[in-house]
Amino acid sequence: MLLFLEASIIRMLPISLISALVRRACRLDEENKEIAVVTDSRFYTMVATKSLLGLSESYKKGWIQVKKLDVFFENIFLTRNATPKFITMYKDFLAYLELDLFEMKSEDPNYYNSDLEDLELTCGTDLGIICSNGVWLSPSDDLDTAQRNKFEMIAKMLQLSPGMRLIEIGAGCGALAKYLADNYHVHVVGTTLSKAELDYARKFCVGSTVDMQLSNCTDLMENEDEKFDGVIVNSVLECIGKSDYERFFANIANLLKNNGTFVIQVAGRYDSRLGNVNGIYPLVRFANLSEIITATEKYFVMESLTDVGRHYEKTFLAWGEKDRKYRDTFVEKYGQEYCPWSEFFTQMTATMAKLRILQEWQIVFSKKC
């Protein structure tokens, strides 16, 4: 209700006031003057009421044309302290509402939808479908190598030996579970919320010591008697509400042997107000690092923390390149508007990672005795 009132108030303001504020927020008369042109006045109300989500939808609809998206985003993010106080306060207010009270979503039913065929085109590698950040260790690395590097880092953190039993929460299509099972001779239980992912992963992992199960992360096997040598949570916490952190980590502690290892890879930022970038990412909340520490300290001891956020830029740019490669397929399936949205999404996230606005951490925990 509050969100509706706030948006309604903004729509009542004179378009001249709204446009002036939005133009300054988007640096349209300053750094972005030569690379961005507004082609439809509806752009201003859309951005004022929906912030970055509105900017995304306006770009998708062609209401603003941008020559260089990477430069456009850098100019906005680097000069965000110069944004008018009205817009800044509104964006903080909106982020609070949608993160801690409810989610704001696009009205376009195809805005977020992505089936496994799409993911295979964009995020597919020689290791399977992997929808999380890779680790680029060499200038010659490609997406396949970057994802293999990440898998090896996780394996090293877990200190694997043959016969160990692991559980991966949010195993997706089973790529990591299969890799660890095949290369380190361990048994992996993988969980997912998606029936489609479950069916795909079970076929993908045939012949490997992987057992895929349908499970809610926050209800995670609360009655499970088995204890595991290692627990893996890779790009899952972002999809769990802050109010569920306590229960989630308590369940993990219950699953882990006393001498076991818990490894989590999670995107977030040091500034707790980032939120989900005002609706761009569906059902996603980027945790503040202090929130993770607070939620885990009752159950675990932090053994190490590695910031791998700098690799996010290359990963998203690689996904964007694959989207362009299969452009005709996506256009046929979703229409012409899909490609501008994909371009906007991947470039914005890559720029946020480049500027270190968006971080990603690999954290290793041991269980408190």
Residue showing tokens 């969980």: 191
pTM: 0.85
Q: Which of 22, 41, 40, 42 is nearest to 32 (CA)?
A: 22
**Final residue belonging to a domain, choices 100, 129, 163:** 100
CA pair distance 194, 210, nearest whole angstrom: 17
pLDDT along the chain (369 residues), means of 10: 48 73 88 96 86 84 95 83 44 44 40 70 96 95 97 98 96 97 97 91 97 76 75 90 87 94 90 49 75 95 94 94 93 85 88 87 95
DSSP 8-class letter at 243:
G
Are the beta carbons of 64 and 58 closer than 8 angstroms?
yes
CA pair distance 108, 324, nearest whole angstrom: 22
In this structure, the answer to whether residues 231 and 134 fall within a common structural domain is yes
CA pair distance 345, 281, nearest whole angstrom: 9
**Final residue belonging to a domain, choices 100, 130, 155:** 100
In a domain, 134, yes or no: yes
φ, ψ of residue 285 in degrees (nearest 5): -130, 120
Residue showing tokens 């740019």: 317
Residue showing tokens 């290791």: 127
Host domain of residue 242: 116-367
What is the pLDDT at residue 338? 80
CA pair distance 44, 52, nearest whole angstrom: 12
Strands 64-66 and 228-234: unpaired
What is the pLDDT at residue 64? 96
**Final residue belonging to a domain, choices 66, 100, 134:** 100
Domain count, the chain: 2
In this structure, the answer to whether residues 61 and 203 fall within a common structural domain is no
Are the beta carbons of 369 and 88 closer than 8 angstroms?
no
**SS3 call for 337:** coil
φ, ψ of residue 217 in degrees (nearest 5): -60, -45
In this structure, the answer to whether residues 266 and 348 fall within a common structural domain is yes
**Is 275 buried (19+), middle (13-18) or exposed (0-12) by CB count in 10 A?**
buried
DSSP 8-class letter at 192:
E
Q: Which of 2, 48, 4, 3 is nearest to 26 (CA)?
A: 48
The amino acid at 338: Y
Residue 333: Cβ within 10 Å count: 14
What is the pLDDT at residue 256? 95
